Amino acid sequence: MVLAVNPEKTEEYRRHFKPNIFIQEISKCGRYAIVQTCNAPSEDGNILSVMDLQTKTILFSVTPSTGWASRYKFKVEDDGRLLSLRCEHRGTGWFSYSHYGTFNDEFAYLKARLEKGDYSLKILAAREWLYSSVDKKMLGSC
C-alpha cells in the first residue's frame, strides 16, 4: 500500500497493491511518487506506477522495460511538472521514461547490457537484439 500524508498528518493519497512492493520513492518536492511491484498474477503485478500526489492521479502505470531498477530520480520542471523519470541499474547505467511512461532509452539500455553486463545479462541482451527493431548498424562493434 502507498499512503501519503502531509505535514499536518492528514492523509493525502492512498492506493492498495495486491503484489509486494519492490521499491517506492518520492520526489524531492514531494509531489510525485513511484511504486514498482514484484511479479504477481494480478493486474498490478510487475508494474511501474508514477503518481501525482497533488492531483491524486496516476500519471502512468507500465510494465517496466528495464525490469527491477536499483533506484529512481524525478526530473521536475521549475513549475512542478514532471519531465521524466530516470532509473538506475547498478553497473549498467541510468535510463529514462517520459512523463507519459514511454521508455526513452531502448537503444542505450540494450547497448549498456551488451557492453557492461555480466555474461547472463549479455546473453539476454544479445537474444533481444537479434529479435528487436533496434537498428543493428547503430550498435557498431559491441
* pTM as predicted: 0.84
The answer to the question of residue 138 being in a domain is no
Looking at residue 17, what is its pLDDT? Answer: 92
Identify the CATH number of the domain in which residue 94 sits. 2.40.128
Backbone angles phi, psi at 103, to 5 degrees: -75, 120
Cell numbers describing residue 103: 521508455
Backbone angles phi, psi at 23, to 5 degrees: -150, 145
* Cα–Cα distance for residue pair 81/114, rounded to 1 Å: 34
The answer to the question of residue 134 being in a domain is no
The answer to the question of residue 8 being in a domain is yes
Q: Tally the domains of the chain.
A: 1
**List of residues 6+ apart from 10 with CB closer than 8 A:** none
Q: Residues in the chain with pLDDT < 50?
A: 141
Looking at residue 28, what is its pLDDT? Answer: 94
